[in-house]
Structure 1
Amino acid sequence: MWSSLGGTWITAPHAVQVGADKIALFTVGTDHVIRVRWRIDGEWGGWTVIPGEVIQVPHAVAGTGDCLDMFAIDHKYSIQHRQWLAGEWSDWKSMTGEAGGPTLTAPRAVWSTPDRLDIFVLGTNLGIWHKWRDGDDWTDEWSSLGSLWLTPPHVLSRGPGRIDAVAINSESGLAHARYQDGEWGTWQTDDAIAISRPFAVESEDLLHVFVLGENRGVYHYTWDKEWSEPTSLQGTVISPPRAVARPDGGIDVFVVGVDSSMFSRSYRNGEWHDWKPIGGRAFSPPSILAHDRTVELFVLGADSAIWHTQVDVA
């Protein structure tokens, strides 16, 4: 059952699992200011203002302990960074450097080791830029991962010092690059046309990637040193897919259908099951939190409020 978390918002929500019993939920109000709402031990608190105007929902990642790193884009298209430590927010700090200037999207961040935080951003020159922090110190310069990209990368770490990045290039091709042993490999591209930002998960040591094709259908790829042939998951959707991987090797994919309601499709024991309706009225892709046998979904609703539901995926 869907329940409203209230408010009037202009961006999709972004939910982060901070601890076993602690969730932070971010969104942006009509005044372009970030709000955060905490759920601790199952109880939601009120919305709290994080001062400073931004142009889109921030991206936050949890570190070890009760801490968060949050990245946002201000009205000057500059990257801003803030930390949650010991129950308090630090001040905003500008991420200077070449990619710290005009930027299109909030950086995506991933912990590649317990002490190293890597961030990736799409600049206004349509280049993908990369920077990292080792301990408390950020690298001085941004490194380029190529130019003329249509989407920011989706990134994940599949082991200490390993990062997988997937993005759509200027020819609408799905591309993958890996960081390993201190170096980036070359981008490997599939020839099929993709029209949405890809979303990737790891399952049974394979990289599974989901993207929309020209027909607005969902396609599933795997990458294992090379791209597999895409598998059509059928249907027509209006949102980029989101997915979670299960410990037993299963995968669950979530999309918004043409009627604006949510649907899910499950991959179990090497086979795809049929699409199942979840209902609701979603005007954004879902932000997903995966638990042992359930998945929580947060979406922007037709009334501009944030709506939430929990789905069994056992």
Structure 2
Amino acid sequence: MTSWGNNRLDIFVRGMDSSVGHRAWDGTSWSADWDTIGGESLYDPISIAWGPERLDVFIVNYQHELLHKHWSGTWSEWENFGGTWVERPSVVSWGPDRLDVFVIGKDRKLYNKSWDGHVWSGFNSLGGQFLHPVSAVSWGPNRIDIFGTSTTHTIDHKWWDGTKGKWGPSGMDASWDHLGGTFYGQPKAVSWGPNRLDVFAIGTGSALFTRTWKTQWSGSWLSLGGTCYGVPEVISWGPGRMDVFVLSTSHSLAHKWYADGTWGPSEKDFEAMSGTIIRQVTGVCQAPNRIDLFVIGYDSGCSIKTWDEGWKPDVTGYTSLGGICFSNVASKG
């Protein structure tokens, strides 16, 4: 899902015929029903907004090619970028009219394709060897940080510094910064301020771990406990605030938060939010102190839960948006 302004949400899913379904919130109500924007998606679709009333959606089709569609008042046709890709794409924007897309090739290396407001680049290899899609985040103009789980199960890191016009740690090659650990799923990174990064991943014992950058990396991975699976969802709605959501092995949603330097409800505990969920949770922040969470239940329908000075409908309940979904709700990243 994507928000391009206060009181605006657009959600995308892979439907039962593999086409991309779409539904929108305008601040008052949801669109009457799901509509299809076509395509044939092998993996979850990915969506992003780089400005008001702008949406970009990316999918990998059954021929393993990367496809792109955008909305700026009306939908474009699907644009085929080609290639041969073996995971869903990841995408980030560090400013208006700028997009960077990351995809994993048959060789498990990471490739980058970028839009500079005028033209798309070709696919450029960034090296590495990755098991899952990467997590890409930007903490300011001309800055991108990428995190991926390597084939040796460590978390690896690479960054773009546009002020120097190059990739770190040593340019556009196979060199990556190794953050260590032993992890089995896709990491999730978030930034709540300039030069601040928090990375989360599920490691040994199915516990959630985190590591922090603030001018330098924290000394080691911190265990936040839990017994989790899937990909953690992390949302920041303001400086010094993070909300983390994971699925427990009982298929229910669990939540913990970081505020003013402290983890709640405690460093090792989670708030139980109940539900029976078959796919990972996806969330978005459309305004300060506002979170919208989307999940897929056993009926393959999409449901929503919202934080707005309290959980709505309540801490254990969800509101159904219907549909028959065969993917997670599309998110940026």
Same fold at TM > 0.5: yes
Residues 67 and 83 in structure 1, CA contact (< 8 A), matched pair in contact too: yes
* Per-residue Cα deviation, 1:221-254 (whole angstroms, up to 9, x for no partner): 1134445311111120122211112424021110
What residue in structure 1 maps to residue 137 of structure 2?
Answer: 156
Residues 190 and 227 in structure 1, CA contact (< 8 A), matched pair in contact too: no
What residue in structure 2 maps to residue 39 of structure 1?
Answer: 25
Percent of residue pairs identical: 28
Q: Establish whether residue 107 from structure 1 lines up as the match of residue 107 from structure 2.
A: no
What residue in structure 1 maps to residue 299 of structure 2?
Answer: 303
The partner residue of 1:218 within 203, 208, 225 is 208
Q: Distance in 2 between matches of 1:273 and 1:206?
A: 20
Q: Distance in 1 between matches of 2:192 and 2:10?
A: 26
Q: Distance in 2 between matches of 1:42 and 1:17?
A: 15
Q: Establish whether residue 19 from structure 1 lines up as the match of residue 9 from structure 2.
A: no
Q: Distance in 2 between matches of 1:256 and 1:313?
A: 23
**How far did residue 184 of structure 1 move?**
0.5
What residue in structure 2 maps to residue 196 of structure 1?
Answer: 185
Residues 125 and 147 in structure 1, CA contact (< 8 A), matched pair in contact too: no
Q: Establish whether residue 242 from structure 1 lines up as the match of residue 233 from structure 2.
A: yes
What residue in structure 2 maps to residue 11 of structure 1?
Answer: none
What residue in structure 2 maps to residue 7 of structure 1?
Answer: none
The partner residue of 1:175 within 151, 156, 161 is 156
**How far did residue 203 of structure 1 move?**
3.1
* Per-residue Cα deviation, 1:77-114 (whole angstroms, up to 9, x for no partner): 1000111122x11111111xxxx322122322111232
**How far did residue 310 of structure 1 move?**
1.1
Structure 2 segments unaligned to the other structure (5+ residues): 170-175, 311-333
Alpha-carbon RMSD across the aligned residues, in angstroms, is: 1.6
* Per-residue Cα deviation, 1:168-215 (whole angstroms, up to 9, x for no partner): 112111111111021111221122101111101113542100000021
Q: Distance in 2 between matches of 1:313 and 1:164?
A: 32
Q: Distance in 2 between matches of 1:65 and 1:242?
A: 24
Q: Distance in 1 between matches of 2:157 and 2:252?
A: 31
Residues 160 and 166 in structure 2, CA contact (< 8 A), matched pair in contact too: yes
What residue in structure 1 maps to residue 198 of structure 2?
Answer: 208
What residue in structure 2 maps to residue 9 of structure 1?
Answer: none
The partner residue of 2:105 within 110, 119, 123 is 123
Alignment of 1:4-153 (within 5 A): 15-45=1-31, 46-86=33-73, 88-95=74-81, 100-139=82-121, 141-153=122-134
Q: Distance in 2 between matches of 1:265 and 1:193?
A: 22
Three-state SS of the structure 2 residue aligned to 1:113 is coil
Q: Distance in 1 between matches of 2:61 and 2:117?
A: 26
Amino acid at match of 2:84: P
Moved more, 77-86 or 108-117: 108-117
CA 1:146 to 1:263, structure 2 compared with 1: closer, same or farther past 3 Å? same
**How far did residue 303 of structure 1 move?**
1.2
Amino acid at match of 1:203: W
Amino acid at match of 2:191: E
**How far did residue 160 of structure 1 move?**
0.9
CA 1:222 to 1:307, structure 2 compared with 1: closer, same or farther past 3 Å? same
* Number of residue equivalences: 294
* Per-residue Cα deviation, 1:23-81 (whole angstroms, up to 9, x for no partner): 11111111111110111122111111112221122111112231111110111110001
Amino acid at match of 1:184: W
TM-score normalised to structure 2 length? 0.84
Q: Distance in 2 between matches of 1:176 and 1:52?
A: 32
CA 1:115 to 1:32, structure 2 compared with 1: closer, same or farther past 3 Å? closer
Q: Distance in 1 between matches of 2:180 and 2:229?
A: 23
TM-score normalised to structure 1 length? 0.89
The partner residue of 2:257 within 263, 266, 271 is 266
Q: Distance in 2 between matches of 1:32 and 1:68?
A: 20
